[in-house]
Structure 1
Amino acid sequence: MIYQNYQVVADLSDPIRKFAEHARDISLTWFDGQRITPLQRMAAYYEQIALLGFTHVRPEFNIEPVVNARGVAVPVRESRVYGTPFCDLMCFKREDAVDLPKVLLVAPMSGHFATLLRGTVQTLVQDHEVYLTDWRNIRDIPMSEGVFGLDEYIEHIIWFMQHLGPNTHLMGVCQPTVACLAATAVMAEDRSDCQPASLTLMAGPIDTRVNPTQVNELAMTQPIEWFEQKLVGMVPLHFKGVGRRVYPGFMQLMAFLNMNLDRHRQSFKTLYEHRVNGEDEKADLIRDFYKEYFAIMDLSGPFYLETVKNVFQEHLLPKGLLTYKGRPLNMKAIRKTFLLTVEGERDDICGMGQTLAAQDLCSVLPAYRKTHHLQAGVGHYGVFNGRRWEAQIYPVVRNMIRSAT
């Protein structure tokens, strides 16, 4: 009944939010070249109401043109190059690109759409052909397409790497770092020509026994049966994926919101103040962030439960016990791939050392193929988005990829 109850509330509140959005537009009527102050306040209030709700439609990527060495703005082409019922492989490429390194960027399946990595793509596309896993909302995928679990997640990465061919670089952000490392091990043991030239793991839960965070501790407080009974629901009737067991995106987002509730309240207050004071550019930044943040997708129930159990509770990967389709993973098979691990000093989701653990697991890799970067002053999202990502982390990523190309 979890999902059904949510959907009833959502269906009732959506008309109210749409009304508030229209009322905001009407309130922004100009009078004699000046905005009427009471209407400004009313519009700011309506904006808050319109924003306070979740959507289940992926936003547009809207990757902006890239300025080349001659100072000319070059458009970025976006296209779908491959896909499965569960995921589209998107390509982002500068129109003047010639023989740029190919990078497969694996987005998390953690309640948000792949557009959460828009800033990561925007930076990477300056110097690379970027391919991104655009996971589809599982509630819109019929049950006839089959089950999606951790094995299928790893399998998709292998398929995409095979599609892109040799000398492709692999990058995982947060949750998919485990699957990226697993896929690399499988391809390395199979001596595939398509094994990653380099592997970049950013702020991911490779070994959550190291410096456990609040998120890690929550996973350990209850048995896996509790997560299945309390957090996994059934997709309601009026969606294509009716009958699928899912971890609803709204539950994941609520958990994230509750971790920093005071900060989010202050953000909405600041949004209101900026809008009333006519500081629209500052207000738009906050509004756009929350429009993206409140765009949610559901997670496959089997995938979610397997991730909680195998990664956060039983720590199978660092113990050497994780399997892929019943096949034990052999980390010692990874001998050629350059490895970069990146962490944030203030990350409250993946603690320092959790991603670095991949360096020890790849014990046969020569030291010159391993690099670790700890970024001072950033939290989880700052590792792959924002000013420090662009100025300090990305150059390390770019240089490693160049070394491995």
Structure 2
Amino acid sequence: MRYMITYDWMETLRNTNQWLGATALSFASYPIFAMTPNPALQWMAAWGEVTERTFQRIVTKPDWGIESITGEDGRDHLINVETVIERPFGNLIHFDVLGRGEMDRRVLLVAPMSGHYATLLRSTVRSLLPDCEVYVTDWHNARDIPVSAGKFDVEDYTLYLSEFMRELGSDLHVIAVCQPAPLTLAATALLAEVDPDAQPRSLILIGGPINPDATPTDVTDFGRRVTMGQLEETMIQRVGFKYKGVGRLVYPGLLQLSSFMSMNAERHGKAFLDQIQRVSRGEASDHDPHNKFYDEYLAVMDMPAEFYLSTVERIFKGLEIAHNAFTVEGRHVDIGAITKVAVMTVEGAKDDISAPGQCIAALDLLTGLPDDRKASHLEPEAGHYGIFAGRSWRNNIRPLVLDFIDANSEEPAKRNRTSPRKKKAAKKTEAA
């Protein structure tokens, strides 16, 4: 009961702050105050607007917001997000581009279950859609999953991934971003042993902690310092009566968000103060850079307690993937069983979450895979976010990933990529 009271108390504090923001905005915006303009009231209204939006976004699942793309034919094609497989803890979804034939490249993008929704990969999905048939793992918020659905830990996560790969068939290329990299590697190895025909053609691991001890960071140091008992006592709570998952043990999104923000508290604090100033001066907009970033960053989801605790215990503390000792339902999953799937690792030189060395460790575990089917890339100026969603991804990493997919397809995929407009203009000028 204590864990449930704490959960509801945090939700009460969030509601209170949202209400305070809305109240300050309403009061300071009262029309009669316009007769005698007061900078203090303008600042109060701005504080209220930013505060209300901030605490409201925490419990709001963002929309994908990908309505259409421009095809090779020059036409705009609408996007329909359809569910391929529906499961209690997560669905397999497909971004169907209406009016376009199926693309040669079929990609499964494995989203993290690490506090944020799969929509964190929105820009990654958008960048791949013109060239690929894109499928994504859309994980559910644990607070909305009834206790009757049972547990969900790292083994269940691995089984979900293997089921999704089976559904999509062998003519598939898998991209795992950050946290799911080690479990995606394990799911591929599991298929190599139990259902070889269902293995994907290639596996791209981006910034994942295959071996967290290879290059320690603040994240791995925290996992070493804290005992499992301390984590369970301080991080795990029961969902309150407001949601369908009432009674389920979770690592609450609010706690996760506080951990994220404490790592760069000064930078976040300055960002919010600057935004209040912009709002007070009338320089902010609904989709300005601040709101665009924080609308996604602040939207957090509760994580099943079993998944969080087993991830820390088995992936970070026990190093089961790093030592090739991972088991699923009592069966040892041998990473060396992967002999046909081409594997590529991508790391960012400035990644302070999954530092360089942690992800490339996967290649040493692939003892049965020929060296000519292994590849790695280190992006010099990229941080953690940049290697899958920033400029580094768009300009450097994405082309390498598409080339790797093409090189490991049964038949070379047709080049449907559109050159940037500036390059086209340059070519016309040269021709002239």
Shorter-normalised TM range: over 0.9
CA distance in 2, matches of 1:95, 1:164: 19
Specify which of 176, 180, 184 is matched with residue 188 of structure 2. Answer: 184
- Structure-2 residue corresponding to 1:76: 79
CA distance in 1, matches of 2:387, 2:377: 10
Amino acid at match of 1:132: V
Which stretch shows the higher mean deviation, 353-362 or 160-169? 160-169
Q: CA RMSD in A?
A: 2.3
- Structure-1 residue corresponding to 2:417: none
1:44-59 maps to which residues of 2 (within 5 A)?
44-53=46-55, 55-59=58-62
- Structure-1 residue corresponding to 2:150: 146
Q: Provide the secondary structure at the position in 2 that maps to 1:184.
A: helix
Specify which of 285, 288, 297 is matched with residue 284 of structure 1. Answer: 288
- Structure-2 residue corresponding to 1:200: 204
CA distance in 1, matches of 2:62, 2:161: 23
- Structure-1 residue corresponding to 2:329: 325
- Structure-2 residue corresponding to 1:361: 365
Residues matched between the structures, number: 401
1:6-405 maps to which residues of 2 (within 5 A)?
6-11=7-12, 13-14=14-15, 16-18=17-19, 20-21=21-22, 24=25, 38=39, 41-53=43-55, 55-100=58-103, 101-281=105-285, 284-405=288-409
Q: Provide the secondary structure at the position in 1 that maps to 2:196.
A: coil
CA distance in 2, matches of 1:158, 1:18: 44
CA displacement 1:29-87 (0-9 Å, x = unmatched): 999xxxx7857544422222213326333211111422233443332221122111111
- Cα contact 1:77–1:94 (8 A) shared by 2: yes
Which stretch shows the higher mean deviation, 123-132 or 37-46? 37-46
- Cα contact 2:43–2:277 (8 A) shared by 1: no
Amino acid at match of 1:215: V
- Structure-1 residue corresponding to 2:421: none
Deviating above 6 A after TM superposition, structure 1's stretches of 4 or more consecutive aligned residues are 25-31
- Cα contact 1:271–1:283 (8 A) shared by 2: no
Give 1:357 shift: 0.4
- Cα contact 1:234–1:242 (8 A) shared by 2: yes
Q: Provide the secondary structure at the position in 2 that maps to 1:384.
A: helix
Q: Label 1:165 to 1:37 Cα distance change in 2 as closer, same or farther (>3 A).
A: farther
CA distance in 2, matches of 1:9, 1:171: 35
Amino acid at match of 2:193: E
Give 1:156 shift: 0.5
Q: Label 1:392 to 1:281 Cα distance change in 2 as closer, same or farther (>3 A).
A: farther
- Structure-2 residue corresponding to 1:5: 6
Q: Label 1:193 to 1:397 Cα distance change in 2 as closer, same or farther (>3 A).
A: same
- Cα contact 1:170–1:196 (8 A) shared by 2: yes
Give 1:278 shift: 3.4
CA distance in 1, matches of 2:261, 2:284: 25
Give 1:310 shift: 0.8
Q: Provide the secondary structure at the position in 2 that maps to 1:91.
A: strand
Q: Provide the secondary structure at the position in 2 that maps to 1:280.
A: coil
- Cα contact 1:139–1:239 (8 A) shared by 2: yes
CA distance in 1, matches of 2:123, 2:220: 26
- Structure-1 residue corresponding to 2:416: none
Amino acid at match of 2:184: C
Which stretch shows the higher mean deviation, 262-271 or 213-222? 262-271
Q: Label 1:289 to 1:4 Cα distance change in 2 as closer, same or farther (>3 A).
A: farther
Give 1:118 shift: 0.9
Q: Provide the secondary structure at the position in 1 that maps to 2:321.
A: helix
Q: Label 1:37 to 1:382 Cα distance change in 2 as closer, same or farther (>3 A).
A: farther
Q: TM-score, normalised by structure 2?
A: 0.87
CA distance in 2, matches of 1:265, 1:255: 14
Amino acid at match of 2:265: L
CA distance in 1, matches of 2:151, 2:122: 28
Q: TM-score, normalised by structure 1?
A: 0.92
Which stretch shows the higher mean deviation, 346-355 or 75-84? 75-84
CA distance in 1, matches of 2:340, 2:19: 54
Q: Which runs of 5+ in 2 are unaligned?
A: 410-432
- Cα contact 1:207–1:354 (8 A) shared by 2: yes
- Cα contact 1:343–1:352 (8 A) shared by 2: yes
Q: Label 1:27 to 1:288 Cα distance change in 2 as closer, same or farther (>3 A).
A: farther
CA displacement 1:205-263 (0-9 Å, x = unmatched): 10011110000000001222221222112222332222222111111111111001111
CA distance in 2, matches of 1:172, 1:210: 19
CA distance in 1, matches of 2:26, 2:74: 38
Amino acid at match of 1:99: E
CA distance in 1, matches of 2:13, 2:323: 48
- Cα contact 1:168–1:194 (8 A) shared by 2: no
Amino acid at match of 2:142: I
- Cα contact 1:203–1:344 (8 A) shared by 2: yes
- Structure-1 residue corresponding to 2:429: none
Give 1:197 shift: 1.0
